């Protein structure tokens, strides 16, 4: 995704309105290009923090390939970061990313084993992911 200095999509990108997140099981999500670019940037930044690959390929021709196995490891890494409790802001940012990533993982037919020490956090995550899923076009 190319961005202009004013923050908008460059002229060559205007006709492309959405990105398909795909894996072997089919389409997981079809957000706008702006949403996809923001999400992928967020995931890339988290990769640097937790040192685990997200499983998201780059956006190519309005598609992003997802490796569900890597995504499960990424989700586990985020849950470990949240559980460590070292930085409340980073944990909060990680939680929001984890909710969306968990939706994609569930849609791929997989789940991850969290590093949460509390079953209540697992229940909260799945509840928020289910609510978010209804707002994420497939």
Residue-wise pLDDT tens digits, 8-57: 444 444 455 799 999 999 999 999 999 999 999 999 999 999 999 999 99
> Tokens in use for 21?
């997140």
Q: What is the DSSP letter of 9?
A: B
Burial class (CB in 10 A: 0-12, 13-18, 19+), 108: buried
Q: pLDDT tens digits for 77-136?
A: 999 999 987 889 999 999 999 999 999 999 999 988 898 888 999 999 999 999 999 999
* Alpha helix ranges (H) inside 64-118: 68-84, 88-107
96 neighbors 78 (Cβ within 8 angstroms): no
Please say whether the beta carbons of 64 and 72 come within 8 A: no
């Amino acid at each position: 995704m190319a961005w202009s200095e004013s923050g908008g999509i460059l002229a060559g990108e205007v006709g492309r309105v959405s990105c398909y997140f795909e894996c072997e099981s089919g389409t997981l999500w079809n957000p706008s290009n702006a949403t996809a670019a923001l999400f992928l940037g967020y995931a890339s930044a988290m990769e640097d923090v937790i040192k685990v690959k997200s499983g998201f390929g780059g956006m190519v021709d309005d598609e992003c390939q997802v490796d569900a196995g890597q995504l499960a490891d990424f989700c586990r890494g985020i849950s470990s970061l949240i559980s460590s409790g070292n930085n409340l802001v980073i944990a909060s940012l990680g939680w929001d990313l984890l909710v969306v990533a968990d939706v994609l993982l569930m849609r791929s037919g997989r789940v991850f084993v969290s590093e949460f020490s509390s079953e209540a956090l697992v229940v909260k995550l799945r509840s928020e992911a289910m609510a978010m899923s209804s707002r994420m076009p497939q």
